[in-house]
Structure 1
């Protein structure tokens, strides 16, 4: 497994893809048509649920699907993995989020996060966002990790693991183009004059993105390129002198 750094999370949370239950569920889900069958609504779009999850205030039932427009809440030691359209999501424990509907039933327009953490892989599309209390990310087709740090007054963490994302927080905005984990903090108050500040790659692994990408019929950038970069949060596949994190390019 690739090396990863943790901040307020445990290794166990990041190793969900090694569970026998998930591997069996993913194999069964794929064999029965995967996201194509879920898109056609011939089967549930939930790949695996561990522990308790609430949907629109009610306990989630076996075989139930997650639909756009739903409010999802996961409890302690729980997680939920599902696919909507061409995008796959893993909701970590103690999370609360709204999955807002786009142009169609199978299109997510906004993933509005209230608490917790979500790993997500998005296929190509337009007019889609991830919104947290302190930042907004315009998604073009990418794999990302988003977490809200309640103990830091709702400070938000966002990693553009690969792809292109339009980032904004307060008056700051940058276009994030990443091959390998470009990470940001969305600050509650400006830090050194910036509302978007550079972050390290924390609390998620390459393998998590790879498994979600497979569920959505995709590959990560590093799988396509056949190599991995330096996981320092700057987002580059090759470490070269003078490379700057894009948050540092925004004027103070």
Structure 2
């Protein structure tokens, strides 16, 4: 299936086909027979293409990324890693801070300053946050794509699961089986900063890959079918349902 792109290059969505990704992922999975927490102290970097910085220093493949760290990817670069019950893929030119939870293995919040991030999260009682300059997302177990634009806007897709969104005075609850997307636009009036969006700049395969690293499955894998690729977040029998950003807000 062709990908809808908006401000991103096709190569950024084709990383799964690169030899470095396939070899790195196979080697990494072979070392985690009982899941990501089975071998404490081992590097949690699945694959690194190009260059990235860890707390301002060059990131190396044997390093261990932990909560509290700062990450930055360079041009034509990408980074995939796991941390606790979550898996992350940073696109090129991305700056990210991992806020620490109860330990160095638990992230309480991600602060995405610029760039694109695909992430899959295991379910927990306490919500974790993904924050950009324009949007705050509360997550309890889901797969999402977040992109912080240089113009101040944020593109966000709740690929599956349940999340709470807040942009200024605008709040909404998103429940998705298959990609429910919004634009967060700080230049709009305080109560109107979220609007519906289509599915752009990420793929099903990326979410499936990250979920597989955690021994999880996406919602559409569990159901054995995919939904309508229109950004509304529904399976075919629900396709006529309105997008929550267009119909209901939690004010």
TM-score, length-normalised on structure 1? Answer: 0.94
* 1:178–1:22 Cα change, 3 Å: same
* 1:191–1:8 Cα change, 3 Å: farther
Task: Determine the C-alpha separation between the residues in 1 that align with 2:239 and 2:110.
Answer: 36
Gaps of 5+ in 2: none
Residues 5-36 of structure 1, C-alpha deviations (whole Å, 9 max, x = no match)? 10011211101111121111111111111683
Find the residue that maps to 2:245 and give its secondary structure. helix
Assess if the C-alpha contact under 8 Å between 2:199 and 2:230 holds in 1: yes
* 1:83–1:238 Cα change, 3 Å: same
Assess if the C-alpha contact under 8 Å between 2:88 and 2:210 holds in 1: yes
Partner of 2:88: 89
Residues 85-125 of structure 1, C-alpha deviations (whole Å, 9 max, x = no match)? 11100000000010111122211110100010100000111
Counterpart among 198, 204, 207 of residue 206 in structure 1: 204
Give aligned pairs, total.
249
The farther-off stretch of 112-121 and 14-23 is: 14-23
User: Does 1:172 find its partner at 2:170?
Assistant: yes
* 1:66–1:241 Cα change, 3 Å: closer
Shift of 1:37: 5.2
After superposition, the CA RMSD in angstroms is 1.8
Find the residue that maps to 2:138 and give its secondary structure. strand
Q: In the TM superposition, what are the counterparts of 1:137-176 in structure 2 within 5 Å?
A: 137-150=137-150, 153-176=151-174
Task: Determine the C-alpha separation between the residues in 1 that align with 2:36 and 2:203.
Answer: 28
User: Does 1:25 find its partner at 2:24?
Assistant: yes
* 1:240–1:192 Cα change, 3 Å: farther
* 1:114–1:129 Cα change, 3 Å: same
Shift of 1:143: 0.4
Residues 25-75 of structure 1, C-alpha deviations (whole Å, 9 max, x = no match)? 111111111683556423100001111100111111230011100010100
Shift of 1:215: 0.6
Q: In the TM superposition, what are the counterparts of 1:94-243 in structure 2 within 5 Å?
A: 94-125=93-124, 126-150=126-150, 153-190=151-188, 194-240=192-238, 242-243=240-241
Shift of 1:3: 3.6
Task: Determine the C-alpha separation between the residues in 1 that align with 2:143 and 2:67.
Answer: 19
* 1:221–1:82 Cα change, 3 Å: same
* 1:99–1:233 Cα change, 3 Å: same
Task: Determine the C-alpha separation between the residues in 2 that align with 1:223 and 1:83.
Answer: 21
Task: Determine the C-alpha separation between the residues in 1 that align with 2:26 and 2:240.
Answer: 44
* 1:11–1:91 Cα change, 3 Å: same
The farther-off stretch of 188-197 and 19-28 is: 188-197
TM-score, length-normalised on structure 2? Answer: 0.94
Find the residue that maps to 1:5 and give its secondary structure. coil
Partner of 1:52: 51
Assess if the C-alpha contact under 8 Å between 1:147 and 1:157 holds in 2: yes
